[in-house]
Structure 1
Amino acid sequence: MKAVVMRDKQLLVDTLKAPTPAAGEVLVKTLACGICGSDLHMFHHCEHVLGNFKRSGIPVDFDAGQDVVFGHEFCGEILDHGPGSDKQLKVGTRVCSMPFIFNRNGFEHVGFSNGYPGGYGEQMLLAEGLLVPVPGDLPAHLAALTEPMSVAVHAVNRARLEGDEVPIVIGCGPIGLAMIAVLKSRGIGPVVASDFSPKRRALAEKMGADLVVNPAEQSPYQSWVEVAAPAGYDIKGPQAMYGLGPQPKPCVIFECVGIPGLIQQVLQSAPPRSRLMVVGVCMESDRIEPMVGIAKEMNISFAYGYNGEEFARTLYDLAEQKFDASPLITSTVGLDGVAEAFAALSKPDEQAKVMITFE
């Protein structure tokens, strides 16, 4: 099979031996696969990322000196079943799956493994028990957005919104954009979105954000005041600090950037008693001043990944058009265009989600 291989710190198109499904596994033909920010991080900073995973207890590891085929945001078609399989889903069925394999050797993450190639290749091995059939005629490139959209669904679920909140989305990359779509689908808002990139601000509007700001020109927190607070409300005033007088609607901030200093910036700038949901993956050490958070009675939570129910529900929500994720995809490429797409994705003004297609 043809695949894009990470080898010697390069992305190369090569022909590899097709994988063979073991017990409990299925062989699928890749139909579409998204390029994830995690893939970019892994390509540019592989040893550092794997070290962070180990310290965090994330069971993802592989030998960076051997071939790796990335790709964990995918849609495929069943070609064959391993021995002893249930075969509840027939050959030819289009499927999505969480990119996990549990076998006698332990845990493998499809796309971050030496033994389980991901969706940057023409074929993959997936766990039969984790397959979710693609409903109806949902196109493969949209079904492949299930994985990143599930990350946003999980973060919104973790925020435990009650419906009266006015959220702020910091960073309008793929996850921030997905966050906007999920919030709007649940009737939460108005949604304030913030990004330095004009192209990503335009995408935020397409995804349904009600107020989109350039933080170089306007504080997103002041913009939030305009739509969530009573007249005369001062974020930094003593009445706001001590909860006296007319109060604003609850503020929930989704941090979708993941760079050092941003959590501290939110603590300093957000209104008192805000809730911060950290979704952006910062790969560096960071520092905060707890006194700021204590004085403002801030809540900080973190969100990572998704569960099986959220993954399956997200696929069906895409099929039922509960939200429109199509603006996320800003470009499509074949395998020969992946290396160039990685270069383009390193510049946030260029792209949001690049989709590899095989059809």
Structure 2
Amino acid sequence: MRAALTKDATMVVTEVPDPVPQAGQLLIRTLACGICGSDLHALADPDAFMETTRRSGGTPYDPRDGLVFGHEFAGEIVSYGPETQRTLPEGTVVCGPPIGIGPQGAGIIGYTPMYPGGYGEYMILNEGLTHAVPEGLDPKVAAITEPFAVATRAVERSGISEGDVALVLGLGPIGLGTVAALKARGHGPVLAADFSPRRRALAEGLGADAVIDPAAESPFGRWADLGVASSLVERIASQLLGTEVRGAVIYECVGVPGMLQQVIEGAPAGGTIMVVGVCMQPDRLEPGVAVSKELSILSSFGAYPAEYGATLAAIGDGRIDAGSIITGTVGLDGVAQAFTDLADPEVHAKIVVQC
């Protein structure tokens, strides 16, 4: 099959062996696959990518040795491996979480040679993790269920309560997905901050109640106006006086060194920080500030199958307008250039590869 294969610091379109489904697996012809920021980071800094994977308990594979990336995908069923139920007929358009399971072992689709991703013409998926795409939903929109599902999990894990103020920092696809997931739950107020006017406009389209340009004002400057107590003394006073104060949850979707400490400094007392952005470089934190504010610091990574299914349903019935963040499409021959183009947030938010 033709595939965009990683080579050194770029992608090369070439012929690679067709994947062969094993027990419990399906052969899928790829229709669409979103380009994820994780792919850009893995190609740009493979050593940090592999070290993070290794220290997290995974098995790292070096992108420089040749991988078929692509873990945000949709395709159609071509054939079945042995021991499959064949519940979905051939030709059904499907998608699913990027979890490879089978006799070959387990791994994240697109980051292991056993499970080539959606930057190739064919893939193998585990039958038990495969979802039929809702009727009428464009495959390129179904493909980006994955980043929205990651955001759904982050919102669920954050434990946000009704009335809490949500602040989303960084409006790449995961940050935009977090805004969408919050609004799909009917949550408000949701504040969204990013330096990019284009991305702030996308967040408004997904329902953000207010957008903030950090170059013009601090994202952390509205707590008092929104009824959030900034210090522990204020929180204790509110309990003694019987007055009501709001909680706050900050979703850190940037993932660069120094960002988490900025959030610790700017978070209100008693707040929750949900770390969603993946920083693969060493960072420096001051725990004393977090302790003095009694902050809860949580983290979230990929979506579980149930969250993926719930997100796909929300996209299918229109509660989440996932397609609104797609700013371009390319074929396999355009993947390498798309990696470059995605560096400019004013040009693109999400590019989808159509095989």
TM above 0.5, yes or no, is yes
2:8 alignment partner AA: D
Alignment partner, residue 239 of structure 1: 234
Cα drift, residue 105 of structure 1: 4.1
Answering whether residue 248 of structure 2 is matched by residue 251 of structure 1, we say yes
Q: How does 1:1-359 map to 2 (within 5 A)?
A: 1-57=1-57, 59-226=58-225, 228-229=226-227, 235=230, 238-239=233-234, 243=238, 246-358=243-355
2:333 alignment partner AA: D
1:93-152 CA-partner distances (Å, limit 9, x unpaired): 111122222233421321111232110011111111211111211110111111111100
Identity of aligned residues (%): 44
Tell me if structure 2 keeps the 8 A contact 1:241–1:272: no
1:60-100 CA-partner distances (Å, limit 9, x unpaired): 42244532110000001000111232211111011112222
- Cα distance in 2, alignment partners of residues 312 and 18 from structure 1: 28
Cα drift, residue 248 of structure 1: 3.2
- Cα distance in 2, alignment partners of residues 217 and 241 from structure 1: 32
TM-score where L is the length of structure 2: 0.94
- Cα distance in 2, alignment partners of residues 354 and 268 from structure 1: 34
CA distance 1:201–1:65, shift in 2 (3 Å): closer
1:304-357 CA-partner distances (Å, limit 9, x unpaired): 111111111111111111211122111111111111110011233321111112
- Cα distance in 1, alignment partners of residues 60 and 12 from structure 2: 21
Report the aligned-residue RMSD.
1.8
Tell me if structure 2 keeps the 8 A contact 1:241–1:296: no
- Cα distance in 1, alignment partners of residues 234 and 135 from structure 2: 54
Q: Which stretch shows the higher mean deviation, 106-115 or 238-247? A: 238-247
1:218-244 CA-partner distances (Å, limit 9, x unpaired): 111213433x228xx7x3695357656
Tell me if structure 1 keeps the 8 A contact 2:30–2:122: yes
2:42 alignment partner AA: M
Cα drift, residue 169 of structure 1: 0.4
2:105 alignment partner AA: G
Stretches of structure 1 that go unaligned for 5 or more consecutive residues are none
Stretches of structure 2 that go unaligned for 5 or more consecutive residues are none
Cα drift, residue 177 of structure 1: 0.4
- Cα distance in 2, alignment partners of residues 247 and 285 from structure 1: 39
Q: How many equivalent pairs are there?
A: 353
- Cα distance in 1, alignment partners of residues 100 and 291 from structure 2: 42
- Cα distance in 2, alignment partners of residues 146 and 113 from structure 1: 21
Q: SS where residue 221 of structure 2 aligns?
A: helix
- Cα distance in 2, alignment partners of residues 26 and 109 from structure 1: 16
